[in-house]
C-alpha cells in the first residue's frame, strides 16, 4: 500500500481549532480496541509447577502468572547464602587482627574479596530463582492461556493479556478532515452494542501519513474505562470533536 506523507503546512488548517462534526461519509471506520496487548513468555524454560490464571481472569500488574519447578535453584541459593554468611563471619573474626595490623595487606584484601564474591554469587542465585516466576506486566484480562501444569515451557508465549483501562478508539477519517482534528481535543463517540452509550475521550494520536489509495488517515481516541466495564472490539461512531475549554 502506497502512503503519501501528509505535511500540516500543505493542508488547510484553521488557525484556531473549531468544533467538528463529521458526516457519515467522512468517517470510514471506528473500532474500540484494547490500549495494550501483550504476549507473555517465561524468562527461562522449565516445567510448569503452578499456572495461576485461567482465560477470562482479571489480573493486576505484578500478580504471579506462572511458576516453574525450581528445586535446583532453591538449593543453589541456599548454598550460596551459606557461603556468603561464612565469608562474612570469617571476615568478622579477623577484623580485630586487621585493626591491629597483624595481617598483611594481601591477607586483608583476600578476606574482603572472598566475602564480596560470596555475596555476589548469592545475589546471582537469587536472580536465577526469581526468573523461574513470571508476573503479569499489566492490569487487564487474560485472553488466552497456552500452558498447563506439568507442561514444559519454552521461549514461546504462554499467555495473552489485554489492558482495557483505558480503551483506544481507532478512527479512520477521509483526508478532508485533516487539520480539523488536533491532538488533545475532546471527542464524543457513540459506542455500539452491547454498550449502546455515548462516551467522551481525548484525541491522543493523529497519523501524519495519509493512505493515498483510500484518501484517509487515522486518529486515536483514549476513553477511560474504570473497572474495565466496557469490552473491546465494539464498533463506534464519531459524533464530534471539539477543543477542550480552558
| Nearest-angstrom CA–CA distance, 141 and 149 | 20
Number of domains in the chain: 3
Q: Are residues 96 and 192 in the same domain?
A: no
Bridging pattern class, strands 159-174 and 209-211? unpaired
Domain carrying residue 89: 71-130
Task: Give the pLDDT confidence of 63-116 residue by residue, as tens digits.
Answer: 999 999 999 988 998 988 888 888 888 777 676 665 666 566 677 677 778 888
Are both 48 and 148 inside the same structural domain?
yes
Cell numbers placing 212:
493515498
Q: Are residues 190 and 212 in the same domain?
A: yes
C-alpha cell of 109?
Answer: 584484601
Instruction: Work out the percent of the chain whose per-residue pLDDT is above 90.
Output: 68
Cβ neighbours, 10 Å, residue 183: 11
Let me know: does 122 contact 160? Beta carbons within 8 Å: no
In this structure, what CATH number is given to the domain that contains residue 207?
2.40.30.170
| Stated pTM of the model | 0.79
Query: 238 and 178 in one domain?
Result: yes
Instruction: Give me the residue label for grid cell 515451557.
Output: 153
Query: How far apart are alpha carbons 241 and 177 in whole angstroms?
Result: 11
Amino acid at each position: 500500500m502506497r502512503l503519501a506523507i501528509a505535511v500540516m503546512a500543505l493542508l488547510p488548517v484553521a488557525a484556531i481549532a473549531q468544533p467538528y462534526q463529521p458526516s457519515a461519509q467522512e468517517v470510514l471506520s471506528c473500532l474500540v480496541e484494547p490500549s495494550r496487548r501483550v504476549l507473555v513468555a517465561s524468562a527461562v524454560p522449565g516445567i510448569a509447577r503452578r499456572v495461576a490464571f485461567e482465560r477470562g481472569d482479571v489480573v493486576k500488574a505484578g500478580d504471579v502468572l506462572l511458576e516453574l519447578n525450581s528445586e535446583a535453584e532453591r538449593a543453589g541459593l541456599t548454598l550460596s547464602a551459606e557461603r556468603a554468611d561464612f565469608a562474612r563471619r570469617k571476615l568478622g573474626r579477623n577484623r580485630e587482627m586487621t585493626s591491629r595490623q597483624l595481617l598483611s595487606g594481601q591477607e586483608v584484601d583476600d578476606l574482603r574479596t572472598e566475602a564480596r564474591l560470596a555475596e555476589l554469587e548469592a545475589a546471582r542465585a537469587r536472580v536465577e530463582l526469581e526468573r523461574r516466576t513470571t508476573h503479569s506486566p499489566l492490569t487487564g484480562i487474560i485472553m488466552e492461556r497456552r500452558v498447563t501444569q506439568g507442561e514444559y515451557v519454552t521461549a514461546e508465549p504462554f499467555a495473552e493479556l489485554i489492558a482495557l483501562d483505558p480503551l483506544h478508539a481507532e478512527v479512520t477519517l477521509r483526508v478532508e478532515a485533516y487539520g480539523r482534528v488536533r491532538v488533545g481535543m475532546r471527542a464524543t463517540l457513540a459506542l455500539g452494542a452491547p454498550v449502546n452509550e455515548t462516551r467522551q475521550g481525548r484525541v491522543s494520536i493523529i497519523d501524519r501519513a495519509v493512505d493515498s489509495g483510500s484518501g484517509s488517515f487515522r486518529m486515536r481516541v483514549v476513553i477511560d474505562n474504570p473497572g474495565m466495564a466496557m469490552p473491546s472490539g465494539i464498533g463506534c461512531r464519531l459524533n464530534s470533536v471539539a477543543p477542550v475549554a480552558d
